[in-house]
Amino acid sequence: MSRFWTDRIASLDPYVPGEQPQDKKYIKLNTNESPYPPSPKAIAAMQAEVGERLRLYPDPNGQMLKNALADAYGLQANQVFVGNGSDEVLALAFMGYFVGDKPLAFADITYSFYKVYANLYGITPNIIPLNDDFDIVPSDYDNLDVSGVVVTNPNAPTGKALPLSDIEHILNANQDVVVLVDEAYVDFGAQSAATLVNQYPNLLVVQTMSKSRALAGIRVGYALGHPDLIEGLERLKNSFNSYPIDRIALVGATAAVQDAEYLAEICDKTIATREWTVAELEKLGFVVLPSATNFVFVTHPERDAESLYLSLKEQGILVRYFGKKPRIGDYLRITIGTDEEMAALIAAL
Ligand code: PMP
């Protein structure tokens, strides 16, 4: 029998993350994690936190992390929001700023979680297709009648980045609504809109500790924006769970943010490995989209993406295949691992 709750459950279409096998040891190039350990200072800070203090709740404000992020981006602490992974920050922003009578604009292809949240919160998507070169075209975001705009920069899973002037174009064309710029991969070669936060009260920049800071395991993400936008997120958060960051994550993330040197070192290594990988893939006949991220989005004119994915898996290498879908189904997304891992990938291909 159909009941209200059964219909509700049936209507939920959750995001399906990349495989996280717990058995066999794969070379894991499928979920854009860092192949490098977190900052040694972050590891030491987390180790020091494990002990008697864990009986106490963490600081509900996450103030030490907000202060460190404010210092790192040249902002005030009231311009920083922290949450349990950027997925949670995105969820709160969608709930707070995009629910309404009007649709929410975002691209296709982009991060597929946006569609999931839109469905969950009853938001109608206004899907704006990428052009034939997989680019976001800023003028496509002019004259919209929407509740908000989400731009992923660099975009995922394409890896392509927009210059800040294009982000400003979209901000100026949508001054009455929040423009959320998801910068999960920005540290690998794109320009961050964090420098625009003081100029645009409608800008919310969302970043994560999961990629460039190699801390996917502690689930910390953050938003940078006008104090009013941040205050809105705080009120939403406190209506759900006033302690979104645990004590261990808080000290680890803070130490990682304060270790700018280590961040630069592992980003530089990743970029160098990416350039080597792109050149090798092109030698093998792959078409590789220009990437400003820690992954590459690739297709081969003569080889089927699904069979490539299966054959690599067979050989102990996991990459991301998105299923038999138009356009995206012809591509694989390959995370940039260590030099050794990428050499193994090229040998397997
Ligand atoms: N945004 C984009 C574009 C992503 O690819 C991801 C990672 N899947 C996230 C946000 C979420 O990252 P996290 O929740 O680990 O911060």
- DSSP character string of 77-108: GGGEEEESHHHHHHHHHIIIII-SSS-EEEEE
> 168: CA distance to ligand 1 center in Å?
23
> Taking the C-alpha atoms of 188, 300, 26 and 322 in order, what is their torsion angle to the nearest 10 degrees?
80
Q: Note whether 223 and 204 are within 8 A (CB).
A: yes
Question: 221 CB under 6 A from ligand 1?
Answer: yes
Cβ proximity of 318 and 28 under 8 Å: yes
d(CA 41, CA 196) in angstroms, rounded, equals: 30
- CATH architecture of the domain 17-37+261-348 equals Alpha-Beta Complex (3.90)
Q: Is the CB of 184 under 6 A from ligand 1?
A: yes
Task: Give pLDDT, residue 312.
Answer: 98
Which CATH number fits the domain 40-258, given the four candidates 3.40.640.10, 3.20.20.70, 1.10.10.10, 3.40.190.10? 3.40.640.10
Structural domain boundaries of the chain?
17-37+261-348, 40-258
pTM for the full predicted model: 0.97
**34 in contact with ligand 1, CB cutoff 6 A:** no
Distances (CA, A) of 196 to 75, 79, 222, 245: 11, 12, 16, 27
Q: Which atom of ligand 1 is nearest to the CA of 87?
A: 14
**Residue 17 backbone dihedrals phi, psi, to 5 degrees:** -70, 165
DSSP at 204: E
CA of 275 to the centre of ligand 1 (A): 23
Decide whether any atom of ligand 1 lies within 6 Å of the 208 Cβ.
yes
Secondary structure class of 329 (helix, strand, coil)? helix
Give me the pLDDT at residue 190, please: 98
Q: Is the CB of 212 under 6 A from ligand 1?
A: no
Query: Both tokens of residue 346?
Result: 């090229």
Q: What is the ipTM of this complex?
A: 0.99
Predicted confidence at residue 14, as pLDDT, reads 87
Judge whether 158 and 149 are in contact, CB under 8 Å: no
Q: Sheet holding 317-321: strands in order across?
A: 27-29, 317-321, 332-335, 295-299, 287-288
Q: What is the residue type of 289? A: L
Q: What tens-digit pLDDT sequence spans the chain (349 residues)?
A: 778 889 888 888 888 888 888 877 899 999 999 999 999 999 999 999 999 999 999 999 999 999 999 999 999 999 999 999 999 999 999 999 999 999 999 999 999 999 999 999 999 999 999 999 999 999 999 999 999 999 999 999 999 999 999 999 999 999 999 999 999 999 999 999 999 999 999 999 999 999 999 999 999 999 999 999 999 999 999 988 888 899 999 999 999 999 999 999 999 999 999 999 999 999 999 999 999 999 999 999 999 999 999 999 999 999 999 999 999 999 999 999 999 999 999 999 9
State the pLDDT at residue 23.
73
C-alpha distances in Å from residue 89, one per residue of 93, 248, 263, 267: 6, 19, 22, 23
Lookup: tokens for 324: 């038999």
**Whole-number pLDDT of residue 24:** 72
Q: Which atom of ligand 1 is nearest to the CA of 209?
A: 16
